[in-house]
C-alpha cells in the first residue's frame, strides 16, 4: 500500500505514523496511508515558510503567475484521474467530483491573472508638494485549515490567492480526505515554486491545527469548518494578534412562493438539499413554502426524492453517493429520529441503505430524508445537520416566509423560487445572507466572485475572486516629498 508523506521545505518528510484513507462507498478499498504529524512538523514547516517569505514576497509577478498557471493546467489535464480520487475518498458522484477538480484548476488560473492585476492608488496629499501611494503587500506566512466536504476546491481557493499575492503557506487538510490535498501538493511541488513557499502537514486538527493557530511564525489563519472549532480559532487568533478568516456553516432557507413554477421549484430544492449528499455548507435544509402551493410541493418533492438513486460514487447511474464517514452517518440518522420525536411528519427516506444495488460493497449509504409540517423552533430547523435531511415549513405569505428565513443564527446562503419581480427584488435586499439565489439552488457558486456569509456563518473578509486580496494582503500608505 502506498504511503504519502508531508511536504516540508521542498522535500517529502516521513510521518511519525500513518493513517489509512478509506473509501466511504467501499470500506474494503483503502486509497493509501497518509502521514500523521505533530507540533515539531508544524515548527519545521513554519520555519521553512518564514525563511522563504522575503524572496517570494518580492519576487517577480510574472514568475508567480506562470507557476500558478502551470498548476491550474495540470489539474485540468488530470481532471478524470483526480476526480476519481476525490470520489473515492469523499463520496461525491463522478460528475460532481470531476466538476470540483475543474473548479480547482480554474481557480489557480484565475489567480495566475490576479498576480498581474493587483492595484493600488495614488492620491494627492492635503499638504502641498507631497504625494501619497496606497499599495497592497503580502501578510506573511498563512496557515490554512480545510474541511472534508470539498477536498480539492477549498484548498485551491485558499492556496491560490495566498501564493498569488506573495504569501507563504502551511496547509492542514481534513483528516478524512488527505488524498486530494496530497495530490495538489505534489502538483504545486513540481510547478517551480521555491522550496518552503508551500508546505503540507497532515494529521489531526487537535494537534496540527492547534499548533498552527498558536505558532508565533504564522501571521494569519484561514479556516473552513464547524462553528465550535471556528470560534475557538478566532479567540486564539485575537489573543495572539493574528489575522483570521472563518467560514463555518449554515442553515440555509429555500423559500417557495405560491406563484413559483412548481417543477422548477421542486428540482432546485432537490439539488439544494441532496446534491453532494447534503454535505455542503450552502445546502438548503429548510424549505419554507407558502400555503397555496404547499401540498402540491411536498407531494412533488417526495416523488423527486424517491427517484434519487443512492449508491457507490463511481457506479454508473448513481445520483447521490455515501455519507463521508460512520460518525457523520450516525449523526444524520440521529437527526432523523430527533425530527420524528419532535412531531414532524416523516414523508420519506431517512434510513440506512445497506449497499449499492448490485455492487456488493459495504458503505455509508443513507436514503435522502424529508419531513413536512415542521415548525421553525424544531431542532431539525435550528441545527446544522450536514447531511441528506430536509424539512418543510408552511407559511401563509411572503412576509412570514422572509421572517422565518431570517430566523436563524446563520447567514450563508438563501434562495427564493418565485415569478414575482417584486418579491425577488425585496428578498435579495432583505434576506440576511451573504449570498442570495433567485430561482436557483442555494448551493453552486462561481470561482471569480466573493464567497461568504453573515451572522454565525462567516467572520472576516470574503473568500474567492478579487475580494480575496482583503484577507491575503495588508495595506501600506507611503508619503513622498516631491
- Predicted confidence (pLDDT) per residue in 12-65, tens digit: 999 999 999 999 999 999 999 999 999 999 999 999 999 999 999 999 999 999
- Report pLDDT for 443: 87
Least confident interval from 210-219, 239-248, 354-363, 451-460: 354-363
Name residue, grid cell 422565518: 404
Backbone φ, ψ for residue 24 (5° rounding): -70, -10
Separation CA 329–CA 334 (nearest Å): 8
| Residues above pLDDT 70, as percent of the chain | 99
Query: DSSP H helical segments within 94-173, as ranges?
Result: 94-114, 153-164
Q: What is the pLDDT averaged over residues 299-317?
A: 96
Separation CA 2–CA 11 (nearest Å): 17
- Report pLDDT for 34: 98
- Report pLDDT for 357: 43
Residue 269 has pLDDT above 60, yes or no: yes
431-435 CB contacts, 8 Å cutoff, 24+ apart: 431/253, 431/402, 431/405, 431/406, 432/405, 432/406, 433/252, 433/457, 434/458, 434/462, 435/282
Q: What is the pLDDT averaged over residues 477-482?
A: 95
Instruction: Choose between 478 and 445: higher pLDDT.
Output: 478
The answer to whether the CB of 437 falls within 8 A of the CB of 415 is: yes
- Report pLDDT for 122: 96
Separation CA 201–CA 45 (nearest Å): 8
Reported as a pLDDT band with limits 50, 70 and 90, residue 361 is: low
State the pTM of this model. Answer: 0.96
Name residue, grid cell 508638494: 129
- Report pLDDT for 23: 97
Separation CA 242–CA 213 (nearest Å): 8
Residue 358 has pLDDT above 90, yes or no: no
The answer to whether the CB of 53 falls within 8 A of the CB of 140 is: yes
Residue 454, burial from CB neighbour count under 10 angstroms (0-12, 13-18, 19+): middle
Residue 207, burial from CB neighbour count under 10 angstroms (0-12, 13-18, 19+): middle
Round the average pLDDT of the chain to a whole number and report it: 96
Q: Compute how many other C-beta atoms are within 10 angstroms of the C-beta atom of residue 12.
A: 16
Residue 185 has pLDDT above 90, yes or no: yes
Name residue, grid cell 435531511: 389
CA-CA distances (angstroms) from residue 233 to 179, 225, 367?
A: 25, 11, 35
- Predicted confidence (pLDDT) per residue in 311-336, tens digit: 999 999 999 999 999 999 999 999 99
- Report pLDDT for 1: 73
- Of 259, 284, 262, the C-alpha closest to 271 is 284
- Predicted confidence (pLDDT) per residue in 455-476, tens digit: 999 999 999 999 999 999 999 9
- Report pLDDT for 354: 76
- Of 257, 251, 262, the C-alpha closest to 286 is 251
**Sign (positive or negative) of CA dihedral 197, 69, 151, 80:** negative
Reported as a pLDDT band with limits 50, 70 and 90, residue 359 is: low
The answer to whether the CB of 170 falls within 8 A of the CB of 46 is: yes
Reported as a pLDDT band with limits 50, 70 and 90, residue 366 is: very high
Residue 304 has pLDDT above 70, yes or no: yes
3-state secondary structure 364-424: EEECCEEEEEECCCCHHHCCCCCCCEEEEEEECCHHHHHHHHHCCCEECEEEEECCCHHHH
Q: Looking at the annotation, which residues are catalytic?
A: 247, 281
Residues 6+ away with beta carbon under 8 Å from 190: none
- Report pLDDT for 353: 86
- Predicted confidence (pLDDT) per residue in 115-160, tens digit: 999 999 999 999 999 999 999 999 999 999 999 999 999 999 999 9
Reported as a pLDDT band with limits 50, 70 and 90, residue 161 is: very high
Name residue, grid cell 477549498: 154
Run of H or E including 301: helix 291-306
- Report pLDDT for 355: 60
- Report pLDDT for 419: 98
Amino acid at each position: 500500500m502506498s504511503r504519502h508523506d508531508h511536504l516540508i521545505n521542498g522535500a517529502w518528510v516521513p510521518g511519525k505514523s500513518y493513517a489509512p484513507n478509506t473509501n466511504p462507498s467501499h470500506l474494503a478499498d483503502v486509497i493509501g496511508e497518509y502521514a500523521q504529524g505533530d507540533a515539531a512538523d508544524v515548527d519545521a514547516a513554519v520555519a521553512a515558510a518564514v525563511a522563504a517569505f522575503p524572496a517570494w514576497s518580492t519576487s517577480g509577478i510574472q514568475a508567480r503567475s506562470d507557476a500558478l498557471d502551470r498548476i491550474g493546467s495540470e489539474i485540468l489535464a488530470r481532471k478524470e484521474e483526480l476526480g476519481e480520487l476525490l470520489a473515492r475518498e469523499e463520496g461525491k458522484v463522478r460528475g460532481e467530483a470531476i466538476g470540483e477538480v475543474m473548479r480547482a484548476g480554474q481557480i489557480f488560473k484565475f489567480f495566475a491573472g490576479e498576480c498581474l492585476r493587483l492595484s493600488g492608488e495614488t492620491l494627492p496629499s492635503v499638504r502641498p508638494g507631497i504625494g501619497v501611494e496606497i499599495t497592497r503587500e503580502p501578510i506573511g506566512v498563512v496557515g490554512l485549515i480545510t474541511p472534508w466536504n470539498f477536498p480539492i476546491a477549498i484548498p485551491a481557493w485558499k492556496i491560490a490567492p495566498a501564493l498569488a499575492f506573495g504569501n507563504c503557506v502551511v496547509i492542514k487538510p481534513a483528516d478524512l480526505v488527505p488524498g486530494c490535498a496530497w495530490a495538489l501538493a505534489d502538483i504545486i511541488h513540481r510547478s517551480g515554486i521555491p522550496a518552503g513557499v508551500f508546505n503540507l502537514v497532515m494529521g489531526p486538527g487537535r494537534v496540527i491545527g492547534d499548533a498552527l493557530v498558536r505558532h508565533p511564525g504564522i501571521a494569519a489563519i484561514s479556516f473552513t469548518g464547524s462553528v465550535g472549532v471556528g470560534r475557538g480559532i478566532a479567540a486564539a487568533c485575537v489573543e495572539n494578534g493574528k489575522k483570521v478568516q472563518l467560514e463555518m456553516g449554515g442553515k440555509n432557507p429555500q423559500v417557495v412562493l405560491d406563484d413559483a413554477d412548481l417543477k422548477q421549484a421542486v428540482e432546485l430544492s432537490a439539488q439544494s438539499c441532496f446534491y453532494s449528499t447534503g454535505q455542503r455548507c450552502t445546502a438548503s435544509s429548510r424549505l419554507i413554502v407558502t400555503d397555496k402551493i404547499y401540498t402540491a410541493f411536498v407531494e412533488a418533492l417526495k416523488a423527486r426524492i424517491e427517484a434519487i438513486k443512492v449508491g457507490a460514487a463511481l457506479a454508473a447511474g448513481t445520483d447521490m453517493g455515501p455519507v463521508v464517514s460512520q460518525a457523520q452517518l450516525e449523526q444524520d440518522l440521529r437527526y432523523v429520529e430527533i425530527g420524528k420525536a419532535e412531531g414532524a411528519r416523516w414523508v420519506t427516506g431517512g434510513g440506512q441503505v445497506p449497499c449499492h444495488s448490485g455492487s456488493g460493497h459495504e458503505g455509508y449509504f443513507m436514503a435522502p430524508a424529508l419531513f413536512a409540517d415542521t415548525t421553525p423552533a424544531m431542532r431539525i430547523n435550528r441545527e446544522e445537520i450536514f447531511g441528506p435531511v430536509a424539512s418543510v415549513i408552511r407559511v401563509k405569505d411572503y412576509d412570514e416566509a422572509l421572517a422565518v428565513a431570517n430566523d436563524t443564527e446563520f447567514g450563508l446562503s438563501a434562495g427564493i423560487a418565485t415569478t414575482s419581480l417584486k418579491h425577488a427584488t425585496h428578498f435579495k435586499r432583505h434576506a440576511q445572507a451573504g449570498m442570495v439565489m433567485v430561482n436557483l439552488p442555494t448551493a453552486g457558486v462561481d470561482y471569480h466572485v466573493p464567497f461568504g456569509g453573515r451572522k454565525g456563518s462567516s467572520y472576516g473578509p470574503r473568500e474567492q475572486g478579487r475580494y480575496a486580496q482583503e484577507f491575503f494582503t495588508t495595506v501600506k500608505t507611503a508619503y513622498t516629498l516631491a
